[in-house]
Amino acid sequence: MKPELEEILPQVSKPTRYLGTEWNAIKKDHRQVDVSFALAFPDVYEVGMSHLGSKILYHIINKRPDAVAERVYAPWPDMEARLREASLPLFGLETGTPLAEFDMVGFSLQYELTYTNVLNMLALGKIPLRQEERGPGDPFVIAGGPCAFNPEPLADFLDLVVLGEGEEVIGELLTVLKEWKQEGGQDREAFLRRAAAIPGIYVPSFYRVHYAGDGTIAAVEPTRPEAAPRVEKRVVADLDAADFPSAPVVPFMDIVHDRAMLELFRGCARGCRFCQAGMIYRPVRERSLKTLLAQAEALQRSTGYPEMSLTSLSSTDYSRIRELIRRLQEAYGDLKVSLPSLRVDSFSVNLAREVEGLRKASITLAPEAGSQRLRDVINKNVTDRDIEEAVAVAVAGGWTAFKLYFMIGLPTEEEEDLLGIARIAEQVASTPDPAGGRGVRRVTVSVSNFVPKPHTPFQWEPQVEEGELVRRQQVIRRALKNRRIILNTHDTRASFLEAVFARGDRRLGKILLAAHRLGCRFDGWTEHFDYGKWEEAFTACGIDPAFYALRRRPFTEPLPWDHLSPGVAKDFLSREYQRALRGEPTVDCSLVSCSQCGVCPTLELPIRLRGGDRDDPETVGQID
C-alpha cells in the first residue's frame, strides 16, 4: 500500500473499501500484460461489489494472460476529500495504478442518477472529461449496462458503448485494442473505427444528430462506414457454455448483497410493460441444472459464503427450481439458500417457505399496482386472488413482517388504483394466522414513482408531474389506518431527474457537466442529493427538463435511442402500448405462445429452457 494511503485510511469511514486485498482479488504486474482495463462502477464499493456483471467481466478479463482488470468504485465523499487534499488520483484497487494509466476505463451504467459519479470519477482520475479532449496516452472511456441502451446524455464523455451482454464482446474489444497498441497506439479514431465494426459496439462520436425546429430529433446519421445505422445488442446464446466467475472477490465488509450468487437464467418473458430489464434482456435463456450445481460447488469452495442467492429476474420461474433447491440443500446442509425475487403467488411463497426454514425475517412481494385493472394495463399478471393466497400462505408459514412494493404514476392511474394500494396493505395487515399466532406484525409499503424507460411499451408516455405525484402519495397516506403499516415514498424530484436522463438526448451532456462542476455526485443518495444545483444547471444551460420527462411523444417522433436495438421490435412496443391502454394482458411466451416481440428472429436465437422439463405440474404448488 502506498504510504500516502496508509495516512489517509485511518481518517475515513469503512477503510476496507479501498484495500484491494480481499480474498480472490487478482493482482497482476501491468508491465507483464498488453492491455489494462479498469472496471469502474459509479457508486460506492458496497453497491458495486454486489453487481454480478462486474464480477463476470473481472473474471473473464483476468483469465487472459495478456490482460489485467482492476476494480474502481466511487470514493465516498470523505475519501474523495482526502484524495483531493493529498492530490492523489483515483486508482485501481488491486495495484493502486492511477486511473489515467489504464488503457481502458469501463463504467457499468445501472442507474441514471449515477451519471455525475461517472464524471466525478474521471475528474478524480485526472482523465479529460469530454471524449474529444482526450489524446494519445489517455484511456478509452467506455460504458455498458442497462442504461447503455440510451447512453445519449453521456455521449460527450464516452468513447464507445457496449450494448448487451459483455462476455464475448469484451474479448473481441480487448484483442482489437491490443493490436492497435502494438501498431503504435496513437490514432484514436483508427481504433474507434475498428471497434465500431464489432457487432454490439456503438461509437457515439460517429453519429450526427439532426434536430427539428421544435427541438425534437429529426434524424441520426452515421458518419463513418463502420458505424451501423442501427446497432444490435450482443447476447450470449448458450449460458451453459459461457464463462462464469467461479472465484469472485470476497469483501471484508458487509456489502449490499453479501452472498454467493448463482445466476439461473437471463431474460424474463413475463412482459411487464414498465420493466426495461424484461425487454432488453430477452430472450429467456436458462442454465441447465447440471451447470448450476457445478457452479454452486465452485462458489462454495472458492468463497465460503454461508448464503447463496438464486438470482435472475424472476427466479421462481426457473423450470426446475424445486429440484435445484432440493439438490442444493442436500449437498450443503448449513448453506442458506435465498430467493431474491418472489412472484406474488402461492407457489413462490411456498418455495420461499422451504428455503427459509425457521429463519424468517420479512417477505417481500411486489404487486406493483393497487387494482386488477391497472395490473392488466402494466401486464403484471397477478390477480387479487394470487395476492390473497400468497399472503395467506406466508402468514401460515410463520412470516410476521411484509414488504410490499408498488408504483404510482403509472399510465391510466386513477384514484381507485391508489386506494387499492391502501386496501391491499390493510388486508395484509389484518390477515389472521390460522394457527392462532399473533399474525402480521408489520407491513412496510414502499411506493416508488413510475419512470418511463426507453425500449419499453411506455417509452412514449409522459411522467406524471411532481406536484401530482406528491398528491397521490398523500392519497395513499391518508387512506392507511392501521398503525402497523409503514409507508415509504420516494423523492419525486429524484424520480423526475431519473426520467429526464432515462429518455434524454445528447444535449443533456452540458447539464451533466454543469451539475458536476456545481458539485453534484451520489445523486441517488438522499443525503447527497441537492436538487437546487440541478435547477441551477438547467437554468444556466437554457434547457427545459420537462421537455424530456413530461412530454407525450408521438409514435412518429424519432426517439434518441432508435438507432440502438435490444432486438425487441419497435412495433411490438407500440402494439403493447395500445394493448395496455385497452387493459389487455399479453401472455408469457415461455409458457404459452409467442407474442411476436421480434427478439428471436432478430438475434437468430430461440428461447432456451435448459433446466429441462418443468417440475411435474402435479406437484407444483404443493409443499411436499
Residues that bind another protein (CB under 8 A): 1, 9-10, 15-16, 19, 21-23, 250, 252-254, 300-306, 334, 358-359
Helices and strands (DSSP H and E) totals, the chain: 21, 19
The CB-of-10 to another protein minimum distance in angstroms stands at 5
In a 3-state reduction of DSSP, which class is residue 304?
A: coil
Residue closer to another protein (CB basis): 91 or 529:
91
Cell numbers 442467492 correspond to 309
The CB-of-252 to another protein minimum distance in angstroms stands at 5
Q: Nearest Cα to 369, choosing from 476, 230, 253?
A: 476
Give the DSSP letter of residue 141: E
In a 3-state reduction of DSSP, which class is residue 449?
A: strand
Record the cell numbers describing residue 467, joined without a space: 406536484
Check if the beta carbon of residue 48 is closer than 8 Å to that of residue 71: yes
Please enumerate in sequence order all residues whose Cβ is within 8 A of that of 331, keeping only pairs 6 or more positions apart, or say none.
293, 296, 297
Record the cell numbers describing residue 457, joined without a space: 411499451
Task: Specify the amino acid at residue 623.
Answer: I
Residue closer to another protein (CB basis): 8 or 162:
8
Give the DSSP letter of residue 401: E
The CB-of-456 to another protein minimum distance in angstroms stands at 39
Residue closer to another protein (CB basis): 360 or 575:
360
Q: Are strands 260-263 and 307-311 parallel, antiparallel or unpaired?
A: parallel
Record the cell numbers describing residue 171, joined without a space: 474479448
Spatial distance between the Cα atoms of 567 and 280, rounded to a whole number of angstroms: 8
State the burial class of residue 559 (Cβ atoms within 10 Å of its Cβ: 0-12, 13-18, 19+). buried
Record the cell numbers describing residue 361, joined without a space: 425475517
Following CA atoms 408, 411, 414, 417 in sequence, which dihedral angle do they give, to the nearest 10 degrees?
A: -50
Residue closer to another protein (CB basis): 207 or 399:
399
Q: Are strands 35-41 and 160-162 parallel, antiparallel or unpaired?
A: unpaired
Say how far residue 380 (Cα) sits from the centre of its chain: 19
Residue closer to another protein (CB basis): 81 or 541:
81
Record the cell numbers describing residue 172, joined without a space: 473481441
Say how far residue 240 (Cα) sits from the centre of its chain: 22
Residue closer to another protein (CB basis): 247 or 518:
247
The CB-of-362 to another protein minimum distance in angstroms stands at 14
Residue closer to another protein (CB basis): 359 or 552:
359
The CB-of-74 to another protein minimum distance in angstroms stands at 19
The CB-of-253 to another protein minimum distance in angstroms stands at 5
The CB-of-312 to another protein minimum distance in angstroms stands at 24
Torsion angles phi and psi, residue 167, rounded to 5: -50, -45
The CB-of-400 to another protein minimum distance in angstroms stands at 13
Q: Are strands 285-286 and 265-266 parallel, antiparallel or unpaired?
A: antiparallel
The CB-of-176 to another protein minimum distance in angstroms stands at 35
In a 3-state reduction of DSSP, which class is residue 577?
A: helix
Calculate the alpha carbon distances from 481 to 145, 422, 487 in Å: 41, 9, 11
Residue closer to another protein (CB basis): 9 or 88:
9
Residue closer to another protein (CB basis): 305 or 405:
305
Q: Nearest Cα to 28, choosing from 72, 75, 73, 63?
A: 63
The CB-of-16 to another protein minimum distance in angstroms stands at 6
Record the cell numbers describing residue 511, joined without a space: 447539464
Record the cell numbers describing residue 286, joined without a space: 436458462
Residue closer to another protein (CB basis): 1 or 470:
1
The CB-of-59 to another protein minimum distance in angstroms stands at 18
In three state form, how does the secondary structure of 333-351 look?
CCCEEECCCCCCCHHHHHH
Cell numbers 433446466 correspond to 611
The CB-of-13 to another protein minimum distance in angstroms stands at 11
Cβ neighbour number for residue 441 with a 10 Å cutoff: 13
Residue closer to another protein (CB basis): 63 or 301:
301
Cβ neighbour number for residue 89 with a 10 Å cutoff: 16
First to last CA, the chain: 54
Residue closer to another protein (CB basis): 359 or 483:
359
The CB-of-48 to another protein minimum distance in angstroms stands at 17
Spatial distance between the Cα atoms of 547 and 529, rounded to a whole number of angstroms: 22
Residue closer to another protein (CB basis): 23 or 555:
23
Q: Nearest Cα to 531, choosing from 543, 540, 542, 523?
A: 523
The CB-of-304 to another protein minimum distance in angstroms stands at 3
The CB-of-331 to another protein minimum distance in angstroms stands at 13
Residue closer to another protein (CB basis): 306 or 434:
306
Residue closer to another protein (CB basis): 333 or 542:
333
